[in-house]
Each structure stands twice: as structure tokens, then as C-alpha cells.
Structure 1
């Protein structure tokens, strides 16, 4: 993207950014309910949304704790899920080119949704507007609905009796499913599910999530082997074709000499 790219009205950028911020921000209610149901206090639940502010990592953390996992294991799983935001930051730092003094504050809003909205814009100005509006609206609404969800969970008592313990995983899957567009991504997700569910009965809570992360390098390794095999097959086919042509030329030369 360059500043000389296509023009998009600021109003349209704000509209799209608000749509994303409101739609995703409402799912903070599910996190508040899930967190309170897993045993975290109201201050702890709100602190996670205020300070961590990355939905997948938050759901992974409280989910592992709810299953009886070790806090350090749960935190490790959440950390690995959040590492992707660091790579988003590398791309956004070039795209947005924010003043150095602003970057530490903007880093708090580097998540899936703000990255997608910013990268979808044709100009740097539009990217900055999209990033800011998405980040601000989502941050405010996510924290508000987290608070409401946690208060609601405390009011209704046992969340499992209402089936609300499934709200977190359901929201996480709803956010993840549309992102699986390529066969590689679907393969990683499928293997991760098999690893996570298969190891759930034999490993401590929270550990299967960490093992499931191995799905990505496994798929990349298999894909690399397949491409290498295809290249070798192609090279052999080319060599066989050349050998065939050489043999035909030699045979033709022998016939000429016999004549």
C-alpha cells in the first residue's frame, strides 16, 4: 500500500471499522461469563481484558484454568496464541508509520481485527483511521461487555447449569472458521483438533493445547516434502525425455552410418 493508491472516503472507513469493532466487541460478554465460570474474580476477569486484550489468548487461558490446568501451563498456551500479534506489529509498523511516542500505546491494539481492517485500506491515511477506530471501539466495547458478562455470571450462579461454559469455545470457533480459507490452514486446524482432543484424556489440562501447536510445523514439513518430491519427479521426467531424445539421435546416427 502506498499513499498514492486509490481513494476511499473517511466516512466509509469509519463505518467499516465500527462494524468490525461492534460485532467482535459484543463477544466480550461470552468471555466475561466464561472467565467468571472458571473461578476468576471480577477484578481478575476485567484485568485480563484491560491488559491482555486478545480474545483467543484470553479464552485459552480461562479455558485451561476451568479444566483444572496449571496456571503456568495455561499462561504458556495463551502466550503462544498471542505471539502472532508480534508479527502483525512488524507489518503494521511499516504500514501505519506512527510517531515513535505513539507506538507503545498503539501496540495494545495490534490484534486480528485491527490488522485486517488496516491492511484492507488503499492508503496510509485510511489505514490509520481504520486501525484507530477499530481498536478504540473494540477495546471499549470488549471491556464493557466483559464486565457485564462477569457480573451476569455471578448473578445467575453456576454457568455450567445454563450451558454458558460452552460460550467461550463457541465464540472462538465462530471467529476462527472464516479465517480457514486455504487447504494448508484447514489442514493445520484439523490436525490441531485431533491432537488436542486425542491427548486431552492422557495429558494434564492445558498441555494438549501446547502440543496442538505442533500441527503448523508438521503441515509445513509435509508440504515441503511434497513440493520437493514433485520437483524431483519433474526433473526425472525431463531427464528421461532428454535421454530418450539422445537415444533416438544415436539410433538415427547408427542407421546413417550403416547406409
Structure 2
């Protein structure tokens, strides 16, 4: 696990900065600081968390509802359905990642499920080995370092950088769009499917103009899922 911790230190540095941006972003969109921190501790997924906050901000927001009227109005308030859908679409990638990892995890279904909570993007990629092997201890160590960095970064952003002007002054306002841009570029680099990427861009451009951001994110995520339906023979034919 020592190698995983060493790998995780570098990944944790990036996660910490992104988490600071998330904490500040959530608070400026009406979320209480405690809720943003709790979300990072439980969800631990930057893409899903940013998507959820953005979608709820466009449809009324869960933060103001929690502060003003309790959990009931928050759950029935505007935008909760599309917001949850967009966040779920962001996290669909973990299904095949966890499935590919399962055979390397010892124990019964419950034990493997618990170990599977360590499947996060950076740790999972770092744990891959030539020839199809997988270093589960490296993944555990790398994730063990990243999780506290993510939670602490969120706390710092939520408690210390609560204002929109502070976001702009520190450059944290560009972390959010830059994060999703990097996700898209990385997807194109590893699997250059231009048609689904074009559909994704078109969906975002069209729906953001006429719909709340929750619906726009959900439709954009659905466009991205179309890439999974690309026939294998077409992918193999590409250079």
C-alpha cells in the first residue's frame, strides 16, 4: 500500500484544489457549508457533485430550500429530478470500472463491494498493470490519501472562500468549466468518437439556451452515453 500512498499524494494535490473550488462554488449557489462538506465526505465524486450543484442552481436550488423551509421543500423543489439524473449519468463510468476490478478483489460480494468504494478515476488508472493485471493495494493506498484531501479542500472552499468576488479573484471560478473540459478532452484522447462528442456539444449549446441547467446537463449526459453504443467493429477499424 506504500506505493499507492506515494501515487496518491500527487493525485490528492489536484483533488484538493478542485475541492476548494467545489466548496466555494456550492456556497455561492446557496448551499450551507456543512451540506457541501457532508456531500464531499459521502459522494466523493467531483463530476457528480459539480453537476448536481449546477443543476439545482438552475432549477431553484436545494441550498436555499434547506435553509428556508427544511428538507421537504428541497426534495420537491424545482430541478431535483434532472439534477439527480445528470449526477447519476456522470457516475455511470464507475459501473464498468468496478466490474473490471471485481475479479481482483478477494472475499464475498459484500467484502468486494466495500473494497469497490476505493474505485476512483486516478487510483483506478494508476493501479492498472501491463498484461491486464491490477494492483488493488495501490488503488487502496491512492484513494486513502485522496479522500481526506477532497473533504478538507471542500471545507476550506466552503468556509473561507464564500463570495463570488473571491472566486473570481483567486481563479477558482474557472476550475469548474476547466474540469469538465479536461474530462471531454481525455475522453477524445482515449477514444476519439467525434460524432458523440459533436452531439454532446450540440445538446449543451441548444438546451442551455432554452432549458434550466438541470435538464441541459441530463440531456448532454445522455448524448455522451451514445458513445457506448458505437459498434465494436467500427472502433476496431479506426487507426
2:82 corresponds to 1:91: no
Equivalent residue, structure 1, for 2:68: none
Deviation at 1:55, TM superposition (A): 1.0
2:57 corresponds to 1:66: yes
**Following superposition of structure 1 onto structure 2, how do residues 203-222 of structure 1 map, counting pairs within 5 Å?**
203-216=211-224, 218=226
Deviates most, 211-220 or 192-201: 211-220
Among 3, 12, 15, the alignment partner of 1:24 is 15
Deviates most, 66-75 or 177-186: 177-186
Deviation at 1:95, TM superposition (A): 2.2
Cα distance 1:34–1:121, how it changes in 2: closer, same or farther (>3 A)?
farther
Given that residues 29 and 147 in structure 1 are in contact (C-alpha distance below 8 angstroms), is that contact kept between their aligned partners in structure 2? Answer: yes
TM-score w.r.t. the length of structure 1 is 0.70
Deviation at 1:48, TM superposition (A): 1.1
Distance in 2, Cα, partners of 1:195 & 1:75:
18
2:119 corresponds to 1:110: yes
Q: How many residues align?
A: 216
**Following superposition of structure 1 onto structure 2, how do residues 173-252 of structure 1 map, counting pairs within 5 Å?**
173-182=181-190, 184-216=192-224, 218=226, 224=231, 227=234
Equivalent residue, structure 2, for 1:247: none
Q: What CA deviation, in whole Å up to 9, does each residue of 1:160-184 have, x standing for no partner?
A: 7646444322233234423421454
Equivalent residue, structure 2, for 1:252: none
Equivalent residue, structure 2, for 1:248: none
Structure 2: gaps (5+ residues): 61-78
Higher relative contact order (CA 8 A, sep 6+): 2
Distance in 2, Cα, partners of 1:202 & 1:92:
41
Structure 1: gaps (5+ residues): 1-9, 231-259
Distance in 1, Cα, partners of 2:109 & 2:228:
36
Q: Highest Rg: 1 or 2?
A: 1
Deviation at 1:115, TM superposition (A): 1.6
Cα distance 1:217–1:55, how it changes in 2: closer, same or farther (>3 A)?
closer
Distance in 2, Cα, partners of 1:135 & 1:183:
25
Cα distance 1:115–1:20, how it changes in 2: closer, same or farther (>3 A)?
same
Distance in 2, Cα, partners of 1:111 & 1:205:
26
Given that residues 6 and 142 in structure 2 are in contact (C-alpha distance below 8 angstroms), is that contact kept between their aligned partners in structure 1? Answer: no
Cα distance 1:42–1:159, how it changes in 2: closer, same or farther (>3 A)?
same
Given that residues 180 and 186 in structure 1 are in contact (C-alpha distance below 8 angstroms), is that contact kept between their aligned partners in structure 2? Answer: yes
Distance in 2, Cα, partners of 1:206 & 1:219:
21
Equivalent residue, structure 2, for 1:148: 156
SS of 2:185's partner is helix
Deviates most, 139-148 or 186-195: 186-195
Distance in 2, Cα, partners of 1:14 & 1:160:
31
Deviates most, 100-109 or 29-38: 100-109
